[in-house]
Structure 1
Amino acid sequence: MAAGNRSETAQGLALISPPLVYALLILAAPLATIVAYSFLKDGYLTVIREFTLENYIAVWNDPIFHRIMLRSLLVAGLVTLVTVALAFPVAYFLSFVVPPERKALWLFLITIPFWTSYLIRVFLWKVILGYNGVVNSGLKSLGLIEQPLTFILYNVNSMVITLAHAYAPFAILPIFIALEKIDRSLLEAGRDLGENRIMTFWRVTLPLAMPGVIAASLIVFIPTIGDYVTPELIGGGKIPMIANLIQAQMLALDNRPLGSALAVTSMLIVAVLSLIFLFLNRRFLRGQK
């Protein structure tokens, strides 16, 4: 029996070893390199291989980092809120309204934006929201405005719109999967007990769909903080986020140790906030039971 277990273990290890090695090379190696660089000293156009904590001290004492990190968290939180709020009705419609034989078609349509590059989609939003873009041209042709609107581009609002559109499919799919797993008989039981549709949704559908909402929130929140293209193009470079600060240290200033310390610190902050978010939602779900 023991020999059989060892054989199954060996087969399992042989099965997962290729993707494990691939993950280590693709993910762990670059991350380990960044962590290692963050503890080194910066020289003129070179890196001095001496251990130091000065980079982290400089990061935590830098008011610019505090301000930009807070802005990044606020923008990412706002994007997450808007994206999930817009994605939930779409996922609900797909799960409860669309006939089963047409759901695959609708899911296919949702993935169409992925057919084009993320950079192209960002440029398209710049064209749409620009000074002479589609929105301003349309409003002027209708006679609603005389001068182009200047507040719809190069600000936080335009960044939120662009990022929410870019990550909407990532939010729709996990919520849709969670809704599909809900036993419809539970909804019928709620209505049989005298609950209206709104209360049935609030007490039954929403709590059961929360795992998908949580997954969608994390899927949107984490990459949004590290977005570099949208603040640079849609924000006009006037509203930098943490990724832009890291890029400036890594490339423009050629300070790889400090840039690495910024990256590691940002990852730790996001990881801690994500764990707190998961903990609070777990307590919320337990309180619903």
Structure 2
Amino acid sequence: MKSGLSSENKSGLLLVSPPFLTALVLLAGPLCMILLLSFWSQDFLTLDRTLTTANYVEAATDPLYGQLLARSLYIAAMVTLVTVLTAFPVAYFISFHVHPSRKSLWLFLITIPFWTSYLIRVFLWKVILGYNGVVNSGLVGLGLIDEPLSFILYNLNAVVITLAHAFAPFAILPIFVALEKIDRSLLEASQDLGESKLRTFFRVTLPLAMPGVVAAVLIVFIPVIGDYITPRLVGGPGGLMIANMIQTQFLKLNNAPMGAALAVTAMLSVTIISLLFVWLNRRYLRGR
């Protein structure tokens, strides 16, 4: 029996080893290099490998970096909120009101935005939200406004709208999967016991769907922090995020250690907020 278990363990380790080594080399390796680089310093093309915390001190004391990080977290939170709030009704409708034979078609339609390049989608939103774009032209043509709106492009609003559309499928799919796993008999039992449909939703459906909601929040929140294309194209000067500064440090200022320190700071901030959110969600579910 022991030899059999040992053989199974060896087979399991043999199967797991290639993806584990791949993840170690391609993910953990670069992260460790970025962490080490953040403790170095650079004077244009000269890289000093003497360990120092000067980059982190500058990142903590310079108000520009703090402002960009705070703005990035705010934009990520708003994008996550808008995306999840709009994705949940779509996922709920597909799960509870679409015939099982047509659910695959609906999910297929949701993935259509992935057929085009992310960059093209951002440019399309730039055209839609522009001063003479589709939205403004339509509102002026209908007589709802006298002059084009200027607050929907080259600011935070444009960044939130564009990113919320881009990440919508990532939020819909995990919520849909969680809703599909809910035993419908539990909902019927709740209503048989006198609960209304609204109270059944908040007391049964929503708590059971929370794993999908948590997954959607993390899937959207984490990558939004690192987005720099959308803020650059539709955000304007007031919509730039911490990723744009990291790009500037690496590619324009030739200060890779400072860019690495900002990247590590952003990753730590996202990690702390994500863990706090998961902890609060667990407390909420236990309280139910």
Residues 187 and 204, structure 2, Cα contact 8 Å, conserved in 1: yes
SS in 1 for 2:135: helix
Aligned: 1:222 with 2:222 = yes
Matched position secondary structure for 1:216: helix
Q: Which residue matches 1:11?
A: 11
Q: Supply the distance in 1 between the matched residues of 2:266 and 2:145 (Cα, whole angstroms).
A: 42
Q: What letter corresponds to residue 216 of structure 2 in structure 1?
A: A
Instruction: Name the amino acid aligned to 2:278.
Output: L
Aligned residue for 2:52, secondary structure, equals coil
Q: Look up the match of 2:208.
A: 208
Unaligned runs of 5+ in 2: none
Structure 1 residue 61: Cα displacement:
1.4
d(CA) in 1 for partners of 2:247, 2:237:
12
Using the TM superposition, name which of 61-70 and 185-194 deviates more: 61-70
1:183-208 deviation per Cα after TM superposition (whole angstroms, max 9, x unaligned): 00000000100111111111100111
Which residue does 1:129 correspond to in 2?
129
Distance 1:233 1:121 in 2: 11
Q: Does the Cα contact within 8 Å between 2:44 and 2:253 map onto a contact in 1?
A: no
Partner deviation per Cα, 1:106-130 (whole Å, 9 max, x = no partner): 0000000001111110000000000
Q: Is 1:93–2:89 an aligned residue pair?
A: no
Q: Offset at 1:44?
A: 2.8
Q: How far did 1:238 drift?
A: 3.2
TM-score, with length taken from structure 1 = 0.97
Does structure 1 conserve the Cα–Cα contact (< 8 Å) formed by 2:155 and 2:237? Answer: no
User: In structure 2, what is the equivalent of residue 56 of structure 1?
Assistant: 56
Letter in 2 for 1:136: N
- After TM superposition, list the pairs within 5 Å mapping 1:106-255 onto structure 2: 106-255=106-255
Q: Number of aligned pairs?
A: 288
* 1:63-104: CA deviation from partner (whole Å, max 9, x where unpaired): 111111111111111111110000000000010000000000
Q: Structure 1: how far apart are the matches of 2:152 and 2:181?
A: 40
Distance 1:133 1:87 in 2: 26
**Counterpart AA for 1:242:** I
- Superposition deviation, residue 5 in structure 1: 1.5
Mapped to 2, the partners of 1:144 and 1:272 lie a distance apart of 45
Distance 1:111 1:19 in 2: 27
Give me the TM-score of the superposition, normalised by structure 2. Answer: 0.97
RMSD of aligned Cα (Å)? 1.1
Listed one character per residue, the Cα deviations across residues 20-60 of structure 1 (whole Å, up to 9, x for unaligned) are 12212221121111111111121231211111111111111
Which residue identity lines up with residue 156 of structure 2 in the other structure? V
Give yes or no for contact 2:39–2:257 (8 Å, CA) kept in 1. Answer: yes
Q: What's the counterpart of residue 284 of structure 2?
A: 284
Output the amino acid matched with 2:225: I
- Output the CA distance in 1 between the equivalents of 2:44 and 2:84: 46
Structure 1: 5+ residue stretches without partners:
none
Letter in 1 for 2:32: A
Amino acid at match of 1:205: T
Measured after TM superposition, the shift of residue 253 of structure 1 is 0.6
1:273 has 2:280 as partner: no
Question: What is the rounded CA distance, in whole Å, between the counterparts of 1:187 and 1:241 in structure 2?
Answer: 43
Amino acid at match of 2:214: I
* Aligned mates of 1:44, 1:84 — CA distance in 2: 43
Cα distance between partner residues in 2 of 1:34 and 1:71 = 23
